[in-house]
């Protein structure tokens, strides 16, 4: 380690030892014309500039604005990029304004030049043959000897005398000192220096290669980068900002995604936790046989003005050829608390969180059901979910929920008065199906039939949250119960569900209310799962009733 430190010191010494040191009279000239600012102690007249080669020059300049004016004397280091080629002179020293005294030519190599500008005279000398070659006293004396009629003893007072700093230690002297301190020959110090320099080069090259490989898919292939990046949430946070409309990008995103692990399985595919552009995302992977379901859900998520804080954020859709089959991907926001079903199984629910969960579900469902008029023909149609259940709702870190899984959703066109029903035979979850679907009386030509079915399912989900709150003292894994847990088997058939819901008219049990708020919630649930679909509340009415309860009992205003 000590040898490496000595080698690094030697590296710095070599880099500085080759610099040309110049006198510099003030920071103004140094900052303006030098490669580095002059090193001037406050209150002192003279500083030092270090100009690394090639072509860096030490400059001494003397000018007079008029025959009676005080001489304007400057010394500084001139940067190579300020020395531009001109036909009349090998180098020219440029300046910021035509009235600047430094405007003119700088001869090369060490020669003297006098140039007239207006009333005054400008004299400059450029050199690079030795440190501090722009010494005030030496240059003034040589100039007076060369042009005695202009710069002799009777012309202009000599510039103030200065004390040159001690000569800098040469590279050879530094190498000798390092070798002596390390008890090593000089050649060994040089070898260590070059080894360290080579290792540093390899490290920087490898780092640059890895960074280029990591981002090669990002900037070149992904459009609308800033909008997509806003949709990606980190492991401990949720995407609650408004990133704008969903973005569908084909065959560009999957190549930059790394699948970490499987976190769930559904009717149409597998849900995985993945990493994309440095953050976690959820990837829903469809098999080739379910490509129509993927296309349908991707199309629904691409609906204009669909984005909402209580709907799962959609990032992109993509396809990936694995070599043996083609996978169809939906890339979504990732919420680490998981589904409402999982959350109620392991975590208690407070009264305030109960209200936040219920309201956010109703808020998201209201946004789905409503038709929104936009600009440039970008209208949002009314959408019915058709598979609302606790496993299709995710919990965000702030305690609110967002509705996911729009694969079975249907849209209603107010222009054509038609319902866009997906062309597949898959139906919703039997346990959450409304009576009109179980007994086959649903009128599929009327879009209101589907939204009323969503309200029935929503009532069952709200009951799950309320039941988990009432069973807060029950141990985890035993606290949460599904609707009809005591009257239906774990995987009921249509006939079994019809017998319970339609023929027997059974609904989930509601215990005696403990207070006025609970009584109001019980009334709300009964209005959601009424047998007659026509008398059920709309999603907007459910949202408004929950907002009123939140404001009345918790002082939390909700719109």
Could you list the residues known to form a binding site, using ranges.
284
Q: Give how far Cα 194 sits from Cα of 176, 200, 308, Å.
A: 17, 10, 59
Q: Are 162 and 45 in contact, with CB atoms under 8 Å apart?
A: yes
**Terminal C-alpha separation, the chain:** 66
Question: How many residues appear in the chain?
Answer: 559
458 closest CA partner among 310, 557, 338 = 310
Phi and psi angles of residue 547, each rounded to the nearest 5 degrees, phi first = -65, -40
Q: What gap in Å lies between CA 130 and CA 110, rounded to an integer?
A: 11
Q: Long-range contacts of range 37-43, CB-CB < 8 Å, 24 or more positions apart?
A: 38/76, 38/77
Q: What is the DSSP letter of 81?
A: G
Q: Give how far Cα 155 sits from Cα of 143, 148, 317, Å.
A: 12, 9, 84
- Three-state SS at 339: strand
- Three-state SS at 434: coil
The kind and range of the H/E element at 549 are helix 539-554
Q: Long-range contacts of range 78-86, CB-CB < 8 Å, 24 or more positions apart?
A: 78/33, 78/34, 78/51, 78/106, 78/126, 79/33, 79/34, 79/35, 79/51, 80/54, 80/55, 80/56, 82/33, 83/55, 83/57
**Omega of the bond leading into 23 within 30 degrees of 0 (cis):** no
Could you list the residues known to form a binding site for ATP, using ranges.
284
What is the number of other CB atoms lying within 10 angstroms of the CB of residue 234?
12
393 closest CA partner among 434, 444, 429 = 429
Q: Give how far Cα 473 sits from Cα of 33, 356, 477, Å.
A: 77, 20, 12
List the helix and strand counts (H, then E) for the chain: 16, 19
From 238, 318, 387, 405, active-site residue:
387
Check if 387 is active-site: yes
User: Which residues in 366-396 are b (16+ Cβ under 10 Å) and which e?
Assistant: bbbbeeeeeeeeebbbbbbbbbbbbbbbbbb
Catalytic amino acids? 387
């Amino acid at each position: 380690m000590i040898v490496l430190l000595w080698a690094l010191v030697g590296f710095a010494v070599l880099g500085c030892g080759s610099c040309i040191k110049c006198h510099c009279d003030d920071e103004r000239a140094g900052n303006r014309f030098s490669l580095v600012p002059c090193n001037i102690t406050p209150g002192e007249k003279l500083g030092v500039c270090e100009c690394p080669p090639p072509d860096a020059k030490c400059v001494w300049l003397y000018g007079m604005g008029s025959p009676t004016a005080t001489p304007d004397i400057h010394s500084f280091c001139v940067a190579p990029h300020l020395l531009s080629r001109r036909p009349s002179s090998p180098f020219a020293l440029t300046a910021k304004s035509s009235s600047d005294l430094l405007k003119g030519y700088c001869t090369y190599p060490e020669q003297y030049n006098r140039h007239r500008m207006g009333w005054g005279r400008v004299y400059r000398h450029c050199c690079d043959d030795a440190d501090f070659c722009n010494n005030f006293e030496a240059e003034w004396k040589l100039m007076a000897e060369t042009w005695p009629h202009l710069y002799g003893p009777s012309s202009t007072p000599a510039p103030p005398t200065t004390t040159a700093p001690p000569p800098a230690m040469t590279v050879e002297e530094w190498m000798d000192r390092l070798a002596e301190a390390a008890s090593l020959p000089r050649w060994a110090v040089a070898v260590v220096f070059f080894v360290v320099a080579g290792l540093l080069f390899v490290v920087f090259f490898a780092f640059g290669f890895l960074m280029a490989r990591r981002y090669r898919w990002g900037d070149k292939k992904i459009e609308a980068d800033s909008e997509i990046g806003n949709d990606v949430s980190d492991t401990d946070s949720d995407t609650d900002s408004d990133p704008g409309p969903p973005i569908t990008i084909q065959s560009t995103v999957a190549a930059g995604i790394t699948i970490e692990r499987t976190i769930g399985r559904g009717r149409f595919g597998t849900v995985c936790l993945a990493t994309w552009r440095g953050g976690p995302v959820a990837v829903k992977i469809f098999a080739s046989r379910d490509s129509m379901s993927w296309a349908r859900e991707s199309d629904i998520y691409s609906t204009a003005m669909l984005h909402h804080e209580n709907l799962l954020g959609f990032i992109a859709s993509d396809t990936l050829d694995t070599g043996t089959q083609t996978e169809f991907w939906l890339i979504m926001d990732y919420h680490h608390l998981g589904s409402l079903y999982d959350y109620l199984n392991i975590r208690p629910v407070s009264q305030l969180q109960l209200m936040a969960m219920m309201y956010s579900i109703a808020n998201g469902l209201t946004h789905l059901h409503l038709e929104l008029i936009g600009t440039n023909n970008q209208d949002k149609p009314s959408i019915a979910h058709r598979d609302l259940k606790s496993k299709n709702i995710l919990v965000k870190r702030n305690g609110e929920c967002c509705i996911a899984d729009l694969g079975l959703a249907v849209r209603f066109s107010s222009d054509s008065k038609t319902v866009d029903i997906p062309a597949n035979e898959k139906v919703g979850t039997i346990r959450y199906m409304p009576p009109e679907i179980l007994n086959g009386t649903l009128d599929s030509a009327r879009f209101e039939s589907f939204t009323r079915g969503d309200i029935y399912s929503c009532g069952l989900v709200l009951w799950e949250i309320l039941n988990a709150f009432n069973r807060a003292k029950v141990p985890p894994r035993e606290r949460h119960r599904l609707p009809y847990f005591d009257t239906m088997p774990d995987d009921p058939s249509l006939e079994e569900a019809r017998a319970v819901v339609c023929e027997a008219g059974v609904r989930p049990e509601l215990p005696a209310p403990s207070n006025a708020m609970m009584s109001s919630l019980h009334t709300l649930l009964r209005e959601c799962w009424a047998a007659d679909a026509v008398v059920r509340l709309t999603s907007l009415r459910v949202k408004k009733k929950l907002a009123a309860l939140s404001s009345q009992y918790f002082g939390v205003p909700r719109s």
